[in-house]
Amino acid sequence: MRLRWQSFLAMWAAVTLIGLGLESARAQMLFDGDGSGEEGFVPPPQKPAPPPKPPGQASSGESFSPFPCPPVTPQSRSEKKNPPNPPVMFTKLTSSHGPMDWASRPNDLNNLMKSLKEMIDVNFTCDVKSFNEVDPDPEKNPILYRSSHFNLTMTAPERQKLRDYLLSGGMIILNPGMGSKPFYNSARKELQATFPEVQVQRLSPDHPIFHSYYTLDRVGYRKAVREAGYRSDEPWFEGVTINCRVVAVISRWGMDIGWDPVEDESLLGYSVDSAKQLGVNLLAYATAQRAWAKNAAKAMQFIDETPVSAGKMAVAQVIYDGEWKTRHAALSVLLKEFNQKTEVPVKFDRTELKLSDPRIFDSPLLYITGHEDFRLQPAEVNNLRDYLNKGGLLFAEACCGRSAFDRAFRTELNKVLPGQGLKPISPGAFLFSQPNKIGRLGVTPALGQHLGSSAIEPNLLGVEKDGHFQVIYSPYGMAGGWELSQNPYANGYEDSGAIALGENILFYSITQ
């Protein structure tokens, strides 16, 4: 570690000497295609601050809580003991282009660690490594942090290593130095290339990241953000979500100038207080999710199961422009549970289709889910309306009980079936009697805390036509229960109840 830090000091001195010979940081090109000539580029400080002291060595092989730990048991012996080093939680990533690229605010993480101690009384430290030095086991380096003003570029092997690390329970936070847009744009592209099967999508204010410790659906911004045209008070994070867990976060505006405080309203970033609170929330969220991912490793495998080729009737999961697949194996698991449990001489298969695809008319049931806001194209709206009016059934679920999807679904459904709003389905309806007799169902701890009860009557809404449902909608999450691993932040039904409800909806679709 000492040798690595001495190399860092040498690089820092070299870059500083070079920087002092230039009129401005904007005038120098760090590397070909570094983004310094692109729109929205913010140059790093011309006279960088001195580098931080090297962090202490510690093992991070345990799961950590974002809350204070119990008091340490006193030593029985009287001799003086060195206090244990705090565990490493964040690892700051270096780059081959030198500290001007990755450490323009060299004390951002160090100061965030101090803020965590002051704000929520947890004691962690940070490390500094190149990406090649990062252990692929997230237990060794739970949260990666990369900040820069310049374009981010990754090789194909680096993307694969990052993908494997994130799917194993790790998390990466990407921060545009002082809000520099080239880094933000390039980071989005790199994450999209790393996870081409999902969308990098903005996280709505109701996302658990903004409520994991502090309530931050509204945050403070500096004057320059307003002058750049952003008028909202909502936080601006984008992310990659896999199986209900955000594995990568990109901030549009700089957090570094709040963690390593700079009181300058001309910089594109959050206020100091909001930046620190966002840092606390990121730690709390990542810690809770890492522990959950470790305990639910089997369900968290990002593997697409092959559809059952012998199936005679297909359930089509709707593909739309947004995060349309929230749990990768959930529908497959539900279909297998249903086919094994019932004696109905119909085997369900599954497929994935856009609503504009005429093959939706071959499926008795369409399934749509999501976490975030979305919009349907006019052709999709028209085709779905035709499908429903010809006797098809749409089953919709707000995964994890997220209000962003709930609002979007109600809005889009009103375009499909104008004036036919969703209405509560009576607990005595046939839907709740076969093949499972459903009364009260257990709910997740998060939903139970919200409702003040650990069990409720099923809350399903529907649109009915001529005595039959065209639409069945659950505002509470079910897919995580089908995989037997509801997210700790999910507002949904516990596992057995989620499966029972899902089986009844499948049964309804072939008998009514």
3-state secondary structure 107-136: CHHHHHHHHHHHHHCCCCEEEEECHHHCCC
Place of tokens 């990768």: 328
Residue pair 371/400 in contact by the 8 Å Cβ criterion:
yes
Residue pair 327/241 in contact by the 8 Å Cβ criterion:
no
Q: Tens of pLDDT along 117-148?
A: 999 998 898 999 999 999 999 999 999 999 99
| 201, β-bridge pairs | 239
Q: Tens of pLDDT along 207-239?
A: 999 999 999 999 999 999 999 999 999 999 999
Q: Strand 245-251 relative to strand 171-176: parallel, antiparallel, unpaired? A: parallel
Running DSSP on this structure, what letter comes out for residue 307?
A: P
Residue pair 371/407 in contact by the 8 Å Cβ criterion:
no
Place of tokens 């990002």: 302
Angle between helices 108-120 and 272-295 (to 10 degrees): 80
Architecture of the CATH domain 313-511: 3-Layer(aba) Sandwich (3.40)
Question: Token pair of 442, please?
Answer: 């257990």
Distance in angstroms (rounded) separating the CA atoms of residues 193 and 370 = 21
Residues comprising the chain, all counted: 512
Closest to 391 in 3D by CA, of 416, 370, 420, 362: 362
The pTM of the full predicted model, rounded to 2 decimals, is: 0.84
In sequence order, which ranges of 121-222 are alpha helices (DSSP H)? 156-167, 181-194
Residue pair 233/198 in contact by the 8 Å Cβ criterion:
no
In the chain, count H helices and then E strands.
14, 16
In sequence order, which ranges of 203-268 are alpha helices (DSSP H)? 223-227, 256-259
Please give the pLDDT value at position 294.
73
Q: Where in the chain is the domain with CATH 3.40.50.12140?
A: 2-8+15-67+85-295, 313-511
Distance in angstroms (rounded) separating the CA atoms of residues 499 and 483 = 9
Q: Strand 461-465 relative to strand 455-456: parallel, antiparallel, unpaired? A: unpaired
Count other Cβ atoms within 10 Å, centred on residue 149: 29
Q: Which fold has domain 2-8+15-67+85-295?
A: Rossmann fold (3.40.50)
Residue pair 370/324 in contact by the 8 Å Cβ criterion:
yes
Please give the pLDDT value at position 97.
94
Please give the pLDDT value at position 488.
93
Residue pair 479/399 in contact by the 8 Å Cβ criterion:
yes
Q: Return per-residue pLDDT of the chain as tens, 512 residues.
A: 444 444 444 444 444 433 333 334 444 689 999 999 999 999 998 765 555 554 444 333 333 444 333 333 333 344 445 556 778 899 999 999 999 999 999 999 999 999 999 999 988 989 999 999 999 999 999 999 999 999 999 999 999 999 999 999 999 999 999 999 999 999 999 999 999 999 999 999 999 999 999 999 999 999 999 999 999 999 999 999 999 999 999 999 999 999 999 999 999 999 999 999 999 999 999 999 988 887 665 544 443 444 444 456 779 999 999 999 999 889 988 988 888 888 766 677 789 999 999 999 999 999 999 999 999 999 999 999 999 999 999 999 999 999 999 999 999 999 999 999 899 999 999 999 999 999 999 999 999 999 999 999 999 999 999 889 999 999 999 999 999 999 999 999 999 999 999 999 999 998 87
Q: Degrees (nearest 5) of the Cα angle 416, 422, 350?
A: 65
Is there a cis peptide before residue 176, judged by omega within 30 degrees of 0?
Answer: no
Give me the amino acid identity at 73: T
Distance in angstroms (rounded) separating the CA atoms of residues 126 and 141 = 9
Edge-to-edge strand order for the sheet containing 423-424?
A: 348-354, 313-319, 365-370, 393-398, 468-474, 461-465, 423-424
Running DSSP on this structure, what letter comes out for residue 89?
A: E
Q: Strand 393-398 relative to strand 468-474: parallel, antiparallel, unpaired? A: parallel
Please give the pLDDT value at position 383.
97
Count other Cβ atoms within 10 Å, centred on residue 299: 20
480 phi-psi bin (left φ>0, alpha ψ -120 to 50, beta other): alpha
Closest to 211 in 3D by CA, of 493, 483, 488, 494: 488
Distance in angstroms (rounded) separating the CA atoms of residues 15 and 25 = 11
